[in-house]
Structure 1
Amino acid sequence: MWNPSQVDYLEVDPVTQEIFQQYKYALAYIGVDFDREDVQAAVIGCSQGMEPAFQTTISYWIWKQNNYEKFEYPSAFLIKALNQQWTPKSWSNEYLDNPKFKSPCQLWWEKAAEKLGKDVRNSLIADVAEKESGYQYILLMSGQTISLEIVNNWSWEKFYEYAIESKRQEEERIKRL
């Protein structure tokens, strides 16, 4: 998926990048095509009102879903919302709690708490993140990283053993210092 931080010819400020990261999976799920040049141009060219435009697009999709209506042309809708600085009639941050709107990193983090327990997860895993390139990884407390794609092919037991061994090796390394 396109990411505004990957644009070489234009510096995109960190606030814009952060807002985009927060909403990109929800917008992509509802059908916004971020690979379209007109969508990219609208996002990059939006100097203010980006977050309300994103929220308007998502809340309108939710309204359409609740009324059993199809949301036609979500990319065009978003472009218009950005260009005309639309604000949502109703918005709740809870809309983003929809599992379909979450990144694979967020979903894995939540699943890890369910499978390992929050305390164990928090003692072994520092973060589950995505680089600007799209590479998704797990940062272990030991400082070691592992691809989320690889771990998704493992059982939870195998991941747990790997993380414990990584933690043990890091503790031994620290003792030797």
Structure 2
Amino acid sequence: MAETEAKTRRPMPVTASIHLPTIYRLFFLFIEPVSALVGAYFAHFRQHDYLTMTHAASAPAAAGVEVPVVSSVVLTQLANLYLLFTLNEALVLRTTADRRVWRTLLFGLLVADLGHLYSLRPLGSEIYWRADQWNAMGWGNVPFVYLGASMRIAFLSGIGLGGPKTVTKGKSL
């Protein structure tokens, strides 16, 4: 029996492990997932506030005015994407020490950062640099996204990571 079991076992593959600096660990595994969860909450449960903080001039006139059905559907879809963002960082990145997985996921999120910043263009170019005009949503939409993109670029560039080490699959960060 033990002989048959030994023959059918697959060898554990060797993966590239990462020693993760505290700043990456804090940002990617805690700060950013919580922030995305807050975004999901507002996009789904506080839709009027979400729209007003994004662009008051085009939001429904006042609190209590019903958010148009199409806007509600789109905001709930956005909330779902924020939730996916949360789960990818908070759960997927915690399950592996494989640098390739981290790089792949963070590259995808970097593309999403650029798309997020691009989506703000109808608000005018000053949205990207006029901190004196940012409300809570502006702070989340611009400098926090810049910070996330910068953290991903730093990680993808290998800043603070040192060289890859080999470990057996399943070993945590």
Shared topology, TM-score over 0.5? no
Higher RCO structure, 1 or 2 (CA under 8 Å, sep 6+) = 2
Larger radius of gyration: 2
Shorter-chain TM band: under 0.3
